[in-house]
Structure 1
């Protein structure tokens, strides 16, 4: 059970939120939660629920609600059974709650830790602890219950704890530095607004504002509080407020020093192929997400022109400076393709971004993507949760629960969210915040009437530029003198481009890079091409943007024009040089200058060196051009070359990252395909990280376009990477697509691989029944095709999931079967890995001597066959067994060769994992300096590669420091 009272009263059993019943029952639960662990007398309950005039039936009503709460919290409790949670005694009732299961108790614990840290000079640590504590609050204590009940002193006292913690956080932040100060500022502003006459609080707000670079706002706060004190109380500011003002004026506000980043999370031992780890306790999971301030807005256009009327209308939507909105402000900007919706939205967003201090989120929803790769709402929410600092392994399952988490994270923040290129209302509705304080800007080619009618959006229809604005556009791009010399030609260019900003941008860009061209010659070429393509609209002046596109396209060399047409076959969101070379059937050296030619023509743009993007309207144009060509540019062969590039490059990366694992061998690729070589594991892992969105899109595209074999093989090849990086929901989606592809082909092997991967990932997600069903099906299919090695890995997956469910004997049985199958298949490396995993199972069972025997056999066999990954994993397991036998010197002696091997093969994650184990053994042996050193090395690596295990290492360092200050270091 989990409970929350710092905000709305809530309770969960597992992942299921409970309906808490009628208002009085909810209020009763809130009262018991605020006094958790202490008895609350019946007369105190009656007093809190009804005040001075309770009904005669009050005690009976309380007893009925107590009974209902018991049944709610413990549905299987017998009528006269003893409750685990609600206990009767001492004339009242007591709610027993684990400290980590109630946000209020967790808040108090963090506040106490902060006090301990501050007492020993750890101001940065104290600030971070207080920030973590304040992040638990989602509103006033027990918000949502009746106001007359919430006014009871018990709830007011808890609210007072929040106010005190805000003041403490401000004090510590002033010493810790501007980084923590900026993170405290949001909560401090909110508290100051709620307590406008609290001089101590206002003084701290003034100092933190000044310390974080907001001196003008700090002085405004002082002026406002001085006026309010005079108007409402008839007094002048006290000494503390006056001193704060003087510090700002004299620029003597303390700035402190930078504070370290903190976090908390689980640590799961790992091995050479990612399936030898033991279970993670749910209690070790972090309760909350660290505050992150994303800044995702694209760059503003330095030559933005016009739209003054629209900008003024948009500004009117926001409250006056300093005011707070009573609801979410939603602005929907609509209009035809190329009219400048995104440009206007980004420009306005930059103008008002400072009014949303908690950051900006941006996503291109690709609502009209020519390759049908529209970004789904679920993918968009996951990208936002990632930007808000939610680790991938902490994402809840299902769109609704992810959307709820997203709304919860935004509930107390003032953020700007830009949803670009939406398809329709339902595309964006789950992305809307639920609480006031945020601005949402939506752009779309559709009118989004549902968003206006159902969500109160303010719709702005963006029309073509006026003639004056269009001419100003040309002057900004080409220079005022050049346009002044040829006014008639400039007017003709504007007319030929239909006053469409995107068309004007392409034409003016070409004219700008060719200054010898007269504007008259530019206008003449546009005039000659007019009418050869369909118009964008059917009414009023024709906005013929395709004419502008064709003008730019027709100036390309034939080779570059072919690359542009082929570009539409790529699923995006961006394109690498090697992928485009494979599409074209060329070497990268041939393709590079052609992409540079396209970039100069502003038909594509370079995102980072070697990776390119393209506006969706231009992609649509490229797709239409490709469809109009003859069979010489048939999309089938080009798309297969691209799929071969991604499949074989992924295979090459995986062979570097996991050389001892069995790998699916794809069919040979065509000679024209570029397969990337990887120098080391770091390079291979970096390539997978950068290309992950493309690879997942390629799996989908292959299934849609008759290349199902590529789809399932790519999904199978990515399985280890997606699992190791904790992207289990992406894994589930990719393997489901792979299953569909394999079934359509009637490919038994493909179905076996997909079932096996789906079984493992469902186990990761706790879907045990589905996991068992998929693995059983995979075992049968691998048997049908005579693949004992494939069956062996299925048994290892069964064993891993059995260990997660504490069924260790069952796990050992599966490992024995896997070992027999690998022996039959002649897969000695996998057989050795099974010895190691059996040893790990014995560790989980507490049979450490047996574990030493099994892991010793694994080590000998891995050494014999020269498998350095497996040898390193065996050394690590031996160290772990010795550690639990309290033979810490022997453990460290085993960890050292494991560490050397992981460094030699450049496996950064497992190097960090072994450093964590080294730290654990040093810590258990009371070598605290060495322990901290090892953990810090591990943390640096995990932070560098962005792995969620970093949180667990921070947790070790934090608790070790806290325990050390109390003189009682905990044993690992």
Structure 2
């Protein structure tokens, strides 16, 4: 079995092709198959299926699509869930897709000099296309175009080899169709002209040249290139050389070998090296643009691969350092580089002065040759465009700090090394025994160097040249963030990490440089464009332009769409530049703005996901803020999901910088999210830190709320005695303030603690006091929530009728109050009552209503508990399959939360059916 992608998407096996029902399912299958056994994130799949505006149910619908595809493939293990998404693995060996098979056949042509064998391989490859690639899937136009280009290049290569075998007349018709479909492709038209001429039709060949000239002039305002012009002239004079080869033979010349020495023992980058090898095997001229931040090892990778592959390019290897980011500003002129290339290729000769004529001479010189060109440290596409060969067998490697993509170039973005690759680099420089002897120190060096190859190489060299220095001593030297850049000075500008960063920094506009400096002050691991706009105090559109400039310069990463990050060393460099170029007042104002941004956004998000919370009174926002409008609970919850680590870091920054109100209000905003997602230790830590600040500044209402949040969370963690102390203090403080609703909430939590401890009388007393306080304040929401809790307390006392009446009242009040989260608990409570009365169908209906309401909130802990209870009810109703289904769904959520309740659910699932 394999997946068909080179035409209508489908599943091929047993001599038949089965299509997939539905465009979205087809798209999911195609995206997974294109990944060639690599994990595809759920975000990528959702984006492919729904685009920029997925529905709130996208995650669940995607799971349903995956379940359907597993059934269609006939093996549930074919698509495996693997964080952060899914991976498709086709069993049975062989190529998983027809695209993979075609790629393997085309790459095999590079390993043989026999044109007959190449023709066999290419014919087998092109026969795999059955129409427009990825037909039936949506949103994959770029991938479809890429696969079409592979087909076109294979067809051209096939025609070239058939011409070598003398099949001139046989290829004319096919080349004519291809040329008609690609009317400005000079290479195709040149092959068609040659085939027509060799078939005894010189007039037809000249007609092809005429039509190409007319089309190029009308559509692009261009004349044909030198290869077509030279071929046309040769046809007019009936050049005998055309009867022997596909083009006039190039005059023999020197074979240049300009590559610099490769880096000793390059470590890591196996995937990137393999990608370059695959590109090199493709038919047609190949251009690869290796991009990445300064110090990431672009030149090392390019030169290492080029040295290893030099034997595949017998007509020469050319190299030039274009010095695009030279600190002296002396970038290499393309004309200068061309003169060097032409001298290496052709020896001493008179050269034209005009850059365009030099570029034309270069293209003629490499035509028909198999040449490797390395264009190192390019500034931009304009600098490299004249240096790109047009030969069908050439390979060009470009390295650049910017996201440089000349026409036709395949991008290869280098990121930081992975942890294992970074350790391997250290071991390669210092010896595996030395690294193994101090594993913790080695890991710290790797972390302090941010897994940046240049930084790791400098740190390793400092240890290697001082045998008496231990890895622990080197790690200690790097531990000081302020001095870390000084510690990574290798002795000359090329190996001084700070100097290397500065070359890119100096190329920025003043506005982009200012934003880069301020980004170093941001507390979290990443931030959004609105966060960056607030940090800079500038409009969002202007900031987005600055962010694009930093991304283009590779001084900023975009690890996921819409979120921006600096690695640790770049962040340290940004902070150093800020302390050099910005005033203390500027830095404090930027920190104030970004803390305000996070506080006001988080406050609005907290009230959206839990309308029952009492609003805070955040400080008035300073000028220059950009606060996103989240709009609904689903977006608010997603915002917390993406930003809660940033908020945690913002709390520390606020405390360190003396922004006391932010330091206690930010933890308040995070409470509901942390509770629902099961991050309870983090919740307690944040609120405990906030308590210390509030104690110091005399913030009593905030302290009362923090004690309640800590108490109710300790209760959920099973630490009842500590929970009781915090809740008692919360009740006392609220009573002192005369805050009836605050006291009601604290007493409610105390009642829940008593109920869980098996003290129903004490629980009813607390809930009764809570209800009286809520009624006195006219608060319908807390009346409804309290009636739900009181109902459950009567369940424990055995009075099910009274419990059900209270539960019904609770539902009515909570519906009036618009508290759907509280209403879900009321339904769940009633479900438990019906279960105890033996009415399992009524209990099932109530459970499902509770689960439906709770699902919308993302409160995973409560959602999981309700699913587990539904499973118990279905088992009692004599429905083991239904019970198992509910328990499996509960287990999935408990495992996401790391909740020990998962063990009990596994036990239930493992028990034999009753």
Category of TM-score, reference length = shorter chain: 0.3 to 0.5
Q: Quick check: which has more Rg, 1 or 2?
A: 2
User: Relative contact order (alpha carbons < 8 A, sep ≥ 6): 1 or 2 greater?
Assistant: 1
Q: Give TM-score scaled by structure 1 length.
A: 0.45
